[in-house]
Structure 1
Amino acid sequence: MWADMAADTRIRRTGLLERYHATRNFLGLDSCVAASAKYSTEDRRPLTKDILFPALRQVIKTHPPLCVGLANESSSTAAFTRLHTIDLSRIVQFRDNDSLRDALESQLAEGFDTDADLPLWRIQVLGDNTVIFAIYHIIGDGLSTIAFHASLLRALRDVPAGDASPLVQTPNTILLSPPIEDVTSVRPSLSTIFDEVYRLFAPKYLSSDRKAWSGNPVPMGVNGSLRTNVRLMSFPAHEVTAFCTMCQTHRTTVTAAFYVLTVATLSRMLAGDPRYDAISSTVAISLRGAAGIPKDAICDYVSAHRTYPPADPRFSWPAAAHHAAKLRTQKSKARENIGMLRFLLGQYVPFFRSHLGRKRASGFVLSNLGRFDASAVEGTWNIVNTVFAQCDVVVGAAFKMNVVCDPTGALNIALTWGEHSIESDFVESFLSRFQDAFRGLLV
């Protein structure tokens, strides 16, 4: 394959985590990570091609990952390649509808065709100036979606409108961030290796997750399973400020408090069910700090911390403080999860297929992108709402709680789940109970 490829198109091979995400894509197990931002001006200017395309050209030239494709996706020789030209008319859609939920569900149901000579991202613009940015996880994590919108906002403010040409010439030299294992140690400790071996081979009656709730089992096949359901929930700025103050008072974080609140809410819903005495739980952890990568970069530097907290219907601030301290220590240890991928010896496909028909590893995943800082500026473009969502609904957690605080101070949550992972009425009940529990803490 490389003999047929122009010498200046190949950039580098994929790393451990990147191959993990590539395998999920070509097997049809995952689609994308997406984030929406609603752009506005005081005169309610529409976001048309002659405004958006010049700004996008600037953003593309700022972020090298937006200029690449992927060759040999399903092979051990998979590598990033430079796209000499990007045709925005093929990856930017303008739609009149304003249903953010429907649009997110549509984006999360669509993976990436790496044979199509297209970049590994796309955009949908809704009638109310909401821009949905969907990115292949191999080049970007959740924070990358916010980095994109921050760059687009700067470009909209700085780049004159007028040139609606869809063709973008990429820079002659494309430098990607190295794979995570090249910039920080991901070598697993002996205890991590032992824990994983024990989890795989211990008798079922001794396993940590034996009686931990994790939703429905993974389906036996993947055909048609990528459909992702989305429900949106938002808390206004004054409630978020009050909650953050309470978190600071109790020496915890919003992420840790939401984790404990989610476990408590699920515990109340599962009370009386003898099958469960714990909740299988996961919290996403950014590795940018460990790798020395800034927040405004587009890259794939993320891991996770999994736990099996006992089912407890009571919310506890001390428990939230304890988990916040635990997450701080995991910022370093979570790197070892990526190092464990070496033990697959390149057998990613059998690894994922081995999950089919089995118990899910997690009941929920909590991903909190934090506050999107973008100061409002009079007389120009501003962002008034942001939402973050992701797929991975086939073999992933029963549901995902995706959290981001937008520039107005409001906190927005997108719950995502698959049609086989959990029942819709369960999610609706969870949302209502979680919202009541959150506001109950503010009283």
Structure 2
Amino acid sequence: MAAKDAQVRPIGLLERFHITRNFLGLDSCVVAAAKYTTQDHRTLTTDILLPALRQVIKTHPSLCVALKNELSSKAAFTRLQTIDLSQIVDFRDSDSLQTALEGQLYQGFNTKADAPLWRIQVLGDNTVILAVHHAIADGLSTIAFHRSLLQALRNGSFSDSPSLVQIPDTIRMLPPFEAFTNVWPSIPTILDRIYREFAPQYLKNDRHAWSGKPVPMIGSLRTNVRLISFPPHDVVAFCSLCRTHRATLTSAFYVLTVTVLSRMLAGDPRYKTISSSVAVSLRGVAGVSGDTICDFVSAHSAYPLVNPNFSWTAAARYAGKLRKQKRDARQSIGLFRLLFRNYVPFMRGLLGRKRDNGFTLSNLGRFDAPMLDGTWNVVNTVFAQCDVIIGAAFKLNVVCDPGGTLNVALTWGDDSVETDFVESFISQFQDAFHDLLV
């Protein structure tokens, strides 16, 4: 329950974007799963997990807040007086990670109640799934959560613990991203955005771009998930190729995605480019560590030409663009100021229009947690997100687990792209990946 006068701080520009998207029913949450294990095959029980979660909560102020007046210009985060873990931690016997992720991504948050903006589901194989509101956490934040939980499990005393957590009145959230750096967009950036919004369709950059189905007028948050993995020895070999060619795994996966989509679109004269975006973390610009739970992310959008031939030169070139975007991408946050807080009509104006992106690639990197004997370890990590109504037609959500396995969760909505199309893409992407290793 939140105290009426317990305002922590007003919401920021990017946070308002994610809050608006959620209360309009256009998005649900970000999710990340990690499988916890010990050498003696202990089971995560309430007596083990709840004391650890109490420590995680006290480490991260963003987990201790609710939303107040989210529909108004005075929207703010408020401190919760208590968190009842029995209400947000759900133990299930099921071991189906794909089904569990789809269930979580379909479920938003009741922000009208004084309730946390996150929840936990525990599967029968000790997989812990975090679902969190995007306004308080980006993709890297989910890794920060699991890193904190792993540390708490390793350090914790496992005994009976009450499910009710008292939240201290001293908690302080980080300021919003715009408090750390100048986010005002340049004049060319502003003019480009205005052109993209108001130019006739036949003059826009995306007029010949593939972007999946148009945004529906009335859509569903039902999110499809498919999980694929690349074993450590293949990942090591692929990363070695990337270094040799001055590329990164992200840039190579990006070009590989464009290559596979180009092959699938071959022969269709409507498409000359593919609209795309790649998530860009803004933590470096703000000087915020990877151990923080916050919403500090942007994206780089582009329209690569349809090209069925993979090019390491293109991958190296795009790696350079992404390095530059670590600073330039902050301007997209400043563009929200041009809405003058009129986020609702802006987002509703996207309904029924051509979709902005055909695919989005988000790479969280490696979950860096060395395996230790005689204690808890993480052996599998998966990351996924919703945003299936107005977001990209499909998303590739990438994370490498501590053992070196690279896990990719592909997510899409029924109204964004055909399931057969995504499943064909998955098959061809895996084949193309392995072809590069030969």
Q: TM-score, normalised by structure 2?
A: 0.99
Counterpart position of 1:74: 71
How far apart in 2 are the matches of 1:438 and 1:165?
Answer: 49
Match of 2:296 among 293, 297, 301: 301
Q: Select 2:403's aligned residue among 402, 408, 415.
A: 408
**Aligned-pair CA distance for 1:211:** 0.6
* Distance in 1 (alpha carbons) for counterparts of 2:59 and 2:168: 9
Q: For 1:351-398, what per-residue CA distance to the aligned partner results, in whole angstroms no more than 9, with x for missing partners?
A: 010011110000000000001100000011000000000000000000
Structure 1 residue identity aligned to 2:264? M
CA distance in 2, matches of 1:398, 1:6: 41
Asked if 1 retains the 8 angstrom alpha-carbon contact of 2:242 and 2:249, the reply is yes
What is the CA distance between 1:117 and its match in structure 2? 1.7
- Partner residue, 2:267: 272
Look up the SS of the partner of 1:257 in the other structure: helix
**TM-fit CA distance, 1:164:** 3.4
How far has the Cα of 1:202 moved from its partner? 2.0
Q: What CA distance in whole angstroms lies between the structure 2 residues aligned with 1:27 and 1:205?
A: 30
Aligned to 1:261: 256
1:351 aligns with 2:349: no
- In structure 2, what is the equivalent of residue 428 of structure 1? 423
Match of 2:35 in 1: 38
Aligned residue runs from structure 1 range 15-414, under 5 A: 15-222=12-219, 225-414=220-409
Letter in 2 for 1:187: W
RMSD: 0.9
- AA of the residue aligned to 1:329: K
Mapped partners of 2:122, 2:395: distance in 1: 24
Secondary structure, counterpart of 1:151 in structure 2:
helix
Q: CA deviation at 1:5?
A: 5.9
Tell me the SS of whatever aligns to 1:6: strand
For residues 310-352 of structure 1, the C-alpha deviation after alignment (integer angstroms, 9 at most, x for no partner) is 0000110000000000011111110001100011111101001
Contiguous gaps of at least 5 residues in structure 2: none
SS in 2 for 1:319: helix
| Identity across the alignment (%) | 68
Amino acid at match of 2:19: A
CA positional deviation for 1:205: 1.7
Q: Which deviates the most, 202-211 or 397-406?
A: 202-211
- In 1: Cα distance, 2:209 partner to 2:37 partner: 45
AA partner of residue 47 (structure 1): L
1:427 is aligned with what amino acid?
V
Counterparts of 1:153 and 1:202, CA distance in 2: 51
User: What SS does the corresponding residue of 2:31 show, helix, strand or coil?
Assistant: strand
How many Å separate the matches in 1 of 2:20 and 2:195? 25
Distance in 1 separating the partners of 2:356 and 2:252: 22
Q: Say how many residue pairs are matched.
A: 437
In structure 1, how many angstroms separate the alpha carbons of the residues matched to 2:45 and 2:402? Answer: 23
Deviates more, 1:194-203 or 1:151-160: 194-203
| Cα pair 2:32 2:381 within 8 Å, conserved | yes
- Per-residue Cα deviation, 1:157-216 (whole angstroms, up to 9, x for no partner): 001101232111112211111111111111000110111111122222221000100000
Residue type of the alignment partner of 2:9: R
Query: How far has the Cα of 1:73 moved from its partner?
Result: 1.4
The answer to whether the 8 Å contact 2:3/2:79 transfers is no
Q: Secondary structure at the match of 2:4?
A: coil
Task: Map 1:7-22 to 2 at 5 A.
Answer: 7=5, 9-22=6-19
What's the TM-score once normalised by structure 1's chain length? Answer: 0.98
**2:426 maps to amino acid:** L
Deviation of 1:75 (Å): 1.3
Distance (Å, rounded) in 2 between the aligned partners of 1:165 and 1:137 = 28
Partners of 1:372 and 1:158 lie apart in 2 by 19
| Structure 2 counterpart SS, 1:234 | strand
Q: Distance in 2 between matches of 1:173 and 1:119?
A: 17
Partner AA of 1:100 in structure 2: L
How far apart, in 2, do the equivalents of 1:164 and 1:295 lie?
29
Q: 2:4 aligns with which of 3, 6, 14?
A: 6
SS of residue matched to 1:356: coil
1:163 and 1:56 map into 2 onto residues whose CA distance is 13
Question: What is the letter of the counterpart of residue 72 of structure 1?
Answer: N
Cα distance in structure 2, aligned partners of 1:305 and 1:6: 39
Cα distance per residue 1:208-255 (max 9 Å; x no partner): 000100000001113xx1100000000000000000011011111000
Distance 1:102 1:406 in 2: 20
Unaligned runs of 5+ in 1: none
Counterpart-to-counterpart distance in 1, 2:4 and 2:348: 34
